[in-house]
Amino acid sequence: MSTSLFSTLRRSSECRARRGELSTAHGMVQTPVFMPVGTQATVKAVTVENLRELGAQIILGNTYHLFIRPGHEMIERFGGLHGFMNWNRPILTDSGGFQIFSLKELATITEAGATFRSHLDGSKKFISPEDAVAVQEALGSDIMMCLDTCIPYPADRKRTEDATALTGRWARRCREAHRNKEQMLFGITQGGMFADLRQQSAETLIEIGFDGYAIGGLSVGESKDQMYDMTEATVAHLPEEQPLYLMGVGTPEDLVEGVRRGVDMFDCVMPTRNARNGMLFTSNGKVVIKNSRYREDPAPIDERCRCYTCSNYSRAYLRHLFVSREILAYHLNTIHNLHFYMKLMQEIREAIEMDCFESFRNDFYGRLESE
């Protein structure tokens, strides 16, 4: 295992929130950080130039989808994901475990790995923990994730125990297969909704030794309280000197609550997917742009926002684009939502630096209004 490339710069005196830096082969990442999801080597509806202008520090690529199409060998010939998509900042690739889990009827999990059928053409595929690492090494990501077995919700204790133990055995195999030490490798904790299994999972991964640790298997249908409780229960057993990543989460509120519990890194499709569905985040809550109330509204999406979309276009125009199914709607909406997320994380980092995170959190909730 490489020496830790993560350093904590400031800790909140009120909660577990912390401000840090993570050094990668493609630059420094300021944490807490939100990573836009670029599933198929693109963050949908925006260019890499847009992402840089928005202040995205690091993006996420999906091992499963890129393994299926266009193939990791081809991407490697283009200089890895960075060269293929013309992105010169850090990239994290997830292992594909969650996508295989979501295939359900199309996948079979055994000790050896996961056998599944392509969602594109039904062809039979197999990926082992060793394969997952090899594919990600070919993709050239700065941070790779171990292959894990995601646990559905609800799941009984026996099923959760078995899947959590398998995740631990797969993690050891991933660590042993890890060759390129310039690429960090993170382990993924599981354990379902059982705090003691979460602790066991964390202890297993720490014993193996990774460059960072992720909290997996949340935001799969459980309540918000359960998600926050399991996040807290897991963070309590993970090393403070390394980055902690809450996978697939979430709403702006989830980011604030995750940081409060000690999380450093987040990713979620929500800002981009919701943008394409016409749901926009604002400092006062959500705006559903197709609503008739915005038909002649001259105001920007958010009066407090300084993004390109809010600086140039009205709610009336954005509603017109969306109901007309114009492609520009997806582009402008995505720019706004990603700007909102980037700005939120910047404000969170500043609040931690000034040691006023709880005051920031109270103000954040105070501004929210249901649309």
Catalytic residues: 94, 267
Copy the structure tokens of residue 175: 């660590």
Length of the chain counted residue by residue: 371
Q: How far apart are the first and last CA of the chain?
A: 48
Burial of 131 (0-12, 13-18, 19+ CB in 10 A): buried
- Cβ 141 vs Cβ 183: under 8 Å: yes
Q: Give the Cβ contact number of residue 293 at 10 Å.
A: 11
Neighbours of 75 (CB within 10 A): 23
Distance CA 105, CA 119 (A): 11
Residue 45 has phi, psi (to 5 degrees) of 80, 0
3-class DSSP state of 242: coil
10 vs 368: CA distance, rounded Å: 27
d(CA 159, CA 27): 40
- d(C-alpha 262, C-alpha 266), whole Å: 12
Whose structure tokens read 């594909």? 96
d(CA 140, CA 171): 19
Omega before 152 cis (within 30°)?
A: no
Residue 39 CA: distances (Å) to CA of 66, 209, 246, 258, 363: 8, 27, 17, 23, 33
Please tell me the chain's helix, strand, coil percentages from 3-state DSSP, rounded to the nearest 5: 45, 20, 35
Are the CB atoms for 5 and 22 separated by under 8 Å? yes
